[in-house]
Amino acid sequence: MKKSLSILIATVLSLSLFAGCGSKTEPKKEGEKAPVTDTKKDEAGIAKLGLGLITTIGKSKDLGVDKNGKEVLPVGQVDTVIVAAGFDKDGKIVKVTIDTAQTKVNYEKDLKIKSDVKAPIKTKVELKEDYKMKGSSKIGKEWYEQIAELEKWMIGKTVEEVKAMKVKKVDDSHTQVPDIAELTSTVTIDVGGYVAALEEAYKNAVEIKEGAVKVGLGNEVSMAKSKALGVDKNGKEVLPVAQVDTTVAATAFDKDGKVVATIIDVAQTKVNFSKEGKVTSDKTVADVASKKELKEKYNMKGSSKIGKEWFEQAAEFEKWMAGKSIEDIKALKTKKVDDNHTQVPDVAELTSTVTIDIGGYRNAVVESLANAK
């Protein structure tokens, strides 16, 4: 009896060991890591969303002559570097998109506007080959190609690691060119402004809910509010102003394309001229503040029917978009209030919190999905 029981137990143990040899859960040898069964844990999640803007007007020009005696016409030039980025819980870059809106408002000698202020304006990324940098590039690469290589290099790094990148001066216009083996053959543009905008994106980053898999950047640029030298309807002199409004949106999307979170901002930049065609705005300002950065200093509250500043209303609109699809956002009902406010929200959830025109903001968010990666 005991012998039969021993044989039975031995048989069962043998079968168990045999089954274990073929099992996918076979124990690892000492020192080896166990296999990861949860694929979600193996992916770097997007825990924060950031948007950074650096705006300068330093390349604007006065009416005058150059060193060769050639006439120089006035130009109001606004350069806005834009970075949309997703960061993991440790601050490492998971997603990043860099772009620049380099917008020029050209004037005639009599200070009438030469540029078509109603024409669509493209960023450097959108221009692609039409930016025409390849011909003068030592490596034969366009701006958008070089910036893509820089973005690729940034992935997996912290902002501090990016800032620690070794750079060199090539000429007066290129003082911060990458000087590291991984980038010397692919990036010869000055990266100072892009790193600064990335740092700002991280500094201003907001924590977001789980589920974000993509981050996109959208924009809408206009110089339609620029003014020529002239007089108003009351006969008062109007001085030239090159006004560039760069609307941007950084948006995080889930796997179904729904908005997890979005950040909207506007760089509303003015380059003022005297009646002699001289730039009177301070060209040395390192970063012209955006609407969101200005906060109360934007001074909209006094004229607001609901007593709210621009940044407060933008925050309410951002909150409303969370969890919605792009189609839901595009379907938002709006109304015309006046000639400057033609797309004001006309839904119960927003009528008491958002009275600004949301047309450009919505367009930027829609475009951010098309550009998401």
Separation between Cα atoms, residue 223 and residue 246, nearest integer Å: 9
Neighbours of 281 (CB within 10 A): 17
Beta-ladder partners of 293: none
pLDDT at 172: 85
Residue pair 170/139 in contact by the 8 Å Cβ criterion: no
Identify the three-state secondary structure at position 237: strand
Residue-range domain boundaries for the chain: 43-370
pTM assigned to the model: 0.86
Residue 284 CB contacts under 8 Å (≥ 6 apart), including other chains: 58
Query: Per-10-residue mean pLDDT for the chain, 373 residues long?
Result: 40 39 40 41 77 98 95 98 98 98 98 97 98 93 98 98 96 93 96 98 96 97 98 95 98 98 98 98 97 97 94 98 97 93 96 96 98 96
Eight-class DSSP state of 193: H
